[in-house]
Structure 1
Amino acid sequence: MPGQEDLKADLLSLEPKGFYFKHIVKSHNWYFSDYLHIPQDEFVDKMDFFKEIVSTELGISFHSLQIVGSAKTGYSLSPHKLFRPFHDEIPGQPSSDIDIAIVSDKLFQQFWDELRTIKGIWYNQRYYNRLTESIFRGYINEKDLLEIKGPCERWENLTRPINVSLQDKLGFIHPITYRLYRSWDDLEEYQIIGISKARRYLEEQGNV
């Protein structure tokens, strides 16, 4: 897996879309190879099993999901914690999350339709701003669903069996979080915006 210096060099030298394809889309995965220490000859089978568990429980295509974030690369690409290593829980700081992107227009539309019927949330400015911004960009955060009665219970019923299976059958020990995307284009756009911000931050810090 690429190390911190490799990621930094690629972040500065590659176009954001090139970085996205090289480090986010391709099949290598830091959590599987470096944390779970899955042997190379078992890697593809384990990744396929991971996809099978998630896609079966959610009723989506086998290829409609992607691990992103620091569990994917080993390091955070968020500007405010750029290149912070994926870590276990330490004093005063929770462990890193395993971030899973779910790409499903059907699920996105189902939850968006449900959210639209819960009129009370639109009178809460915090919910309104956060939800409308994310939905406009083609995604729904799990953390928003979990704060709203109705969608919260339905989402938990969908993901609870996944989390249990990933822990029991694949050895995942870190919190699992999800973001629901309308399309692969929306996921790509979200990731490229984040990569572009990280690159600008790195350049401003004088690391060119």
Structure 2
Amino acid sequence: MAVREVTDEIKARIIAFKECVLSHGVERALSDHILKHDCSIVGRDFERRLRGAVAEHFGADVELVYIVGSAKLGFSPKPGQYFKPFSDQSDVDIAIVCPDLFSRIWHEVSEMERAHEYFDFEKFKHYLFMGWIRPDKMPSKSYETCREWWDFFRRLSGSEEFMRLKISAGLYYDRKFLRRYQLVSLVSLRENIEGRPG
């Protein structure tokens, strides 16, 4: 896809997203623009291959692996970067919903904390309380599961198959927690669209 085509598509996506948020609300925007598969700015084939690779590696249901963020929307939904267009310098963010993997990591990290192995357990707990695990808050140097996680995403990020884009992921206990986290961001974005401080 040519740069001009991408730019035009992103402009159209921003207009459609704003109209959806203002006319139908953030719940509908989440369902139609973020949690719907095969509509990423990176393309349907890229999305399917990436979701398949992640699901296979972690033993997750492929239907519960989502591309989110600017790689999905075509623009950033993050505060301070609202509507910044996706580019070849952007990250591809993935949300993995997998209760079994979540529970395994939770148990392993809990054992490390009980053994007084040092890492920032408070930051880890902050996200755990919201139903997701941020791998950058795990004890990466001494924790094999975390090292394997980063090694896998480094391999994906260095792959020609995925255009050498940086790929990273968060792990959610269930879809309800994923929706809740995404909705918090979308409420702030809606306030920005409406011109209210958010």
TM-score by length of 1: 0.77
| Larger mean Cα displacement after TM superposition, 4-13 or 136-145 | 4-13
The code of the aligned residue for 1:149 comes to K
* Match of residue 25, structure 2, among 1, 15, 21: 15
Match of 1:150 in 2: 142
Q: How far has the Cα of 1:135 moved from its partner?
A: 0.8
1:144 Cα offset (Å): 1.1
Distance 1:121 1:12, change over 3 A: farther
- State how many pairs are aligned: 184
Of the structure 1 ranges 22-31 and 169-178, higher mean CA displacement relative to structure 2 is found in: 169-178
Cα distance in 1 for partners of 2:68, 2:117 equals 29
1:123/1:98 CA distance change after superposition, 3 Å = closer
Q: Counterpart of 1:9 in 2: which secondary structure?
A: helix
Q: Do the aligned partners of 1:67 and 1:100 also contact (CA within 8 Å) in 2? A: yes
Give the structure 1 partner of residue 103 of structure 2: 109
Deviations 1:49-94 (A, max 9, x none): 3332111111122222000000001101112211111123xxxxxx
Q: Secondary structure at the match of 2:96?
A: strand
Q: What is the aligned partner in structure 1 of residue 35 from structure 2?
A: 25
Q: Is the 8 A contact 1:57 1:158 kept in 2?
A: no
Larger relative contact order (CA 8 Å, sep ≥ 6): 1
- Cα distance, 1:118 vs structure 2: 2.4
Percentage of pairs with the same residue: 24
Measure, in 2, the Cα distance between the counterparts of 1:150 and 1:8. Answer: 44
Change (3 A) 1:183 1:133: same
Q: Distance in 1 between matches of 2:147 and 2:141?
A: 11
Q: Distance in 1 between matches of 2:162 and 2:192?
A: 35
Partner Cα distance (2:167, 2:70) in 1? 12
Q: Which digits, 9 at most, give the CA deviation of each residue in 1:125-178, with x for residues without a partner?
A: xx40x2222111100112212x54333x42332453455357546333211111
Partner of 1:92: none
Name the CA shift for 1:87/1:58 in 2 (closer, same or farther; >3 Å): same
Distance between the aligned counterparts of 2:109 and 2:97, measured in 1? 18
| Structure 1: gaps spanning 5 or more residues | 33-42, 89-94
Q: How does 1:18-167 map to 2 (within 5 A)?
A: 18-27=28-37, 28-32=39-43, 43=44, 47-88=47-88, 95-119=89-113, 120=116, 124=120, 127-128=121-122, 130-145=123-138, 147-151=139-143, 153-158=144-149, 160-161=151-152, 163-165=154-156, 167=158
Match of 2:6 in 1: none
- Provide structure 2 residue ranges, at least 5 long, that are not aligned to the other structure: 1-8
Residues 148/165 of structure 1: CA separation in 2 closer, same or farther (3 Å cut):
closer
Alignment-mate amino acid for residue 63 of structure 2: H
Which whole-Å CA distance do the structure 1 matches of 2:132 and 2:103 have between them? Answer: 10
TM-score, length-normalised on structure 2?
0.80
- 1:171 to 1:132, Cα distance in 2 relative to 1, 3 A: closer
Partner of 1:183: 174
1:204 maps to 195
